[in-house]
């Protein structure tokens, strides 16, 4: 499976801040003829003309990234927004309030519930607002997004169909040229944020070896070029593929932790965060010594409306629940 296009860049650790100017700097500037500029900037700084000191920007960059991950939403806007508010991602109106946070959604926004359009619009809004605030939204595809692109409507509710204006209109909207279909076909299936791998189902070593840029380019190429009926035959979207595999959430740890380690080694990563396999007790499941975290807690009312998000700051992992925060690792 060779890459067809140049790999797209993935979220990387923030760039190393520029070191502070040394004592040599005035001399160097003088030698390069920039003394006048130096003198001017020094005087301006002295009289406090620059309202924001440059050093402030650098000190922010040194802070570890705050990452918040939320699992399957399945058509329930009210519970989704409640989780986002609880985790400090959005306010009551669905506006981004998380500053420089990276917010990852691990797929399955659609199906089983009615609020499909509203939820994707929320994601679109948050993505734009996050950029302005210096943060980032990383929306990932789940198996249910791809099922809808395959025109597999087994889990679509009548209210959802109605919200699109009927089945035919819905089909067009989800198509390669539809407003929603076009947007979703730009989403990735796997992300690496500073050594944490995020995806919907789980990344078996078999797939991990291709590397994340290749997996995302391949997925987008298939989704953007193949008609719905052909997508069924793409192994990347099959049962042991990244969107469907449940091994890390379900299989015996004595076997599956070794598999996980192989996948993480191939990606040079610390841990994997996945959705897809509902935890009906409403608790984030940690397995293999916190190397895999299952964050599908059944947020949609179909699964009980359990509210939880995972917060990662450096190596500190915290489960954020209604009225309590539970440290998973530090
Ligand atoms: C990246 O991860 C490492 C190790 O897990 C952590 O120590 C560091 O603070 C993180 N960096 C950022 C920018 O979050
Ligand atoms: C998205 O933003 C638009 C423009 O501000 C707003 O009208 C709309 O209600 C927002 N949608 C959601 C679901 O938050």
Buried b (16+ CB within 10 A) or exposed e, 226-260: bebeebeebebbeeebbbbbbbbbebeeeebbebb
Residue 215 falls within a domain, yes or no? yes
In the structure encoding, which two tokens stand for residue 231, read together? Answer: 């997508």
- Span 211-224, pLDDT tens digits: 999 999 999 999 99
Q: Which atom of ligand 2 is nearest to the CA of 125?
A: 1
pLDDT attached to residue 61: 53
Give the H/E segment covering residue 105.
Answer: strand 102-105
Q: What is the DSSP string of 68-82?
A: EEE---TT-HHHHHH
CB of residue 17 inside a 6 A radius of ligand 1: no
Residue 291 falls within a domain, yes or no? yes
Residue 43 falls within a domain, yes or no? no
Mean pLDDT to the nearest integer, 119-141: 98
Residue 311 falls within a domain, yes or no? yes
Mean pLDDT to the nearest integer, 293-301: 98
CB of residue 315 inside a 6 A radius of ligand 1: yes
**Parallel, antiparallel or unpaired: strands 102-105 and 66-70:** parallel
For a ligand 1 pocket test, name from 15, 315, 328, 329 the mutation site with the most ligand atoms within 8 angstroms of its C-beta: 315
* Through-space distance between the first and last CA atoms of the chain, rounded to whole angstroms: 38
Q: Which atom of ligand 1 is nearest to the CA of 315?
A: 5
Give the H/E segment covering residue 64.
Answer: none
Q: Under a CB-based contact definition with an 8 Å cutoff, are residues 89 and 99 in contact? A: no
Residue 316 falls within a domain, yes or no? yes
Q: Which atom of ligand 2 is nearest to the CA of 118?
A: 13
Q: What is the CATH number of the domain that holds 252?
A: 3.60.21.10
Provide the domain count of the chain: 1
Give the H/E segment covering residue 271.
Answer: strand 271-274
Q: Which atom of ligand 1 is nearest to the CA of 270?
A: 5
Mean pLDDT to the nearest integer, 97-104: 98
CB of residue 127 inside a 6 A radius of ligand 2: no
CB of residue 171 inside a 6 A radius of ligand 2: no
Residue whose CA is closest, atom 3 of ligand 1?
314
Mean pLDDT to the nearest integer, 119-138: 98
Residue 15 falls within a domain, yes or no? no
- Span 78-94, pLDDT tens digits: 999 999 999 999 999 99
CB of residue 118 inside a 6 A radius of ligand 2: yes
The alpha carbon of 13 and the centre of ligand 1 are apart by a number of angstroms equal to: 8
How far, in Å, CA of 261 to CA of 313, rounded? 22
The alpha carbon of 118 and the centre of ligand 2 are apart by a number of angstroms equal to: 9
Could you tell me the residue range of the domain that residue 302 belongs to? 53-329
For a ligand 1 pocket test, name from 270, 314, 316 the mutation site with the most ligand atoms within 8 angstroms of its C-beta: 314
pLDDT attached to residue 63: 79
Cα distances from 253 to residues 261, 282, 284, 285, 297, in angstroms, run 11, 21, 16, 13, 20
Residue 75 falls within a domain, yes or no? yes
- Span 226-265, pLDDT tens digits: 999 999 999 999 999 999 999 999 999 999 999 999 999 9
Q: What is the mean pLDDT of the chain?
A: 87
CB of residue 271 inside a 6 A radius of ligand 2: no
How far, in Å, CA of 292 to CA of 259, rounded? 11
Residue 31 falls within a domain, yes or no? no
The alpha carbon of 196 and the centre of ligand 2 are apart by a number of angstroms equal to: 30
């Amino acid at each position: 499976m060779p890459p067809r296009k140049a790999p797209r860049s993935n979220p990387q650790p923030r760039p190393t801040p520029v070191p502070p100017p040394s004592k040599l700097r005035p001399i160097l500037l003088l030698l390069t003829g920039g003394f006048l500029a130096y003198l001017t900037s020094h005087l301006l700084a002295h009289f406090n003309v620059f309202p924001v000191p440059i050093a402030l920007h650098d000190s922010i960059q040194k802070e570890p990234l705050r990452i918040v991950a939320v699992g399957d939403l399945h058509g329930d806007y009210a519970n989704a927004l409640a989780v986002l508010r609880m985790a400090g991602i959005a306010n009551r109106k669905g506006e981004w309030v998380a500053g420089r946070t990276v917010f990852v959604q691990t797929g399955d926004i659609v199906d089983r519930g009615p609020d499909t359009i509203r939820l994707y619009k929320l994601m679109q809004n948050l993505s734009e607002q996050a950029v302005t605030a210096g943060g980032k939204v990383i929306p990932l595809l789940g198996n249910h997004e791809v099922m809808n692109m395959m025109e597999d409507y087994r889990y679509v509710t009548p209210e959802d169909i109605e919200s699109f204006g009927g089945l035919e209109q819905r089909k067009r909207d989800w198509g390669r040229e539809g407003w929603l279909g076009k947007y979703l076909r730009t989403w990735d299936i796997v992300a690496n944020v500073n050594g944490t791998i995020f995806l919907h189902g789980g990344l078996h070593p078999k797939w991990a070896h291709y590397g994340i840029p290749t997996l995302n380019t391949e997925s987008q190429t298939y989704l953007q070029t193949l008609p719905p009926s052909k997508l069924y035959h793409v192994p990347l979207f099959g049962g042991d593929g990244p969107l469907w595999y449940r091994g890390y959430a379900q299989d015996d740890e004595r076997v599956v932790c070794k598999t996980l380690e192989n996948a993480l080694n191939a990606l040079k990563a610390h841990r994997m965060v996945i959705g897809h396999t509902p935890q009906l007790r409403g608790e984030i499941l940690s397995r293999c010594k916190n190397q895999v975290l299952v964050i599908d807690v059944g947020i949609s009312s179909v699964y009980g409306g359990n509210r939880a998000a995972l917060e990662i700051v450096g190596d500190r992992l915290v489960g954020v629940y209604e009225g309590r925060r539970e440290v998973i690792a530090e």
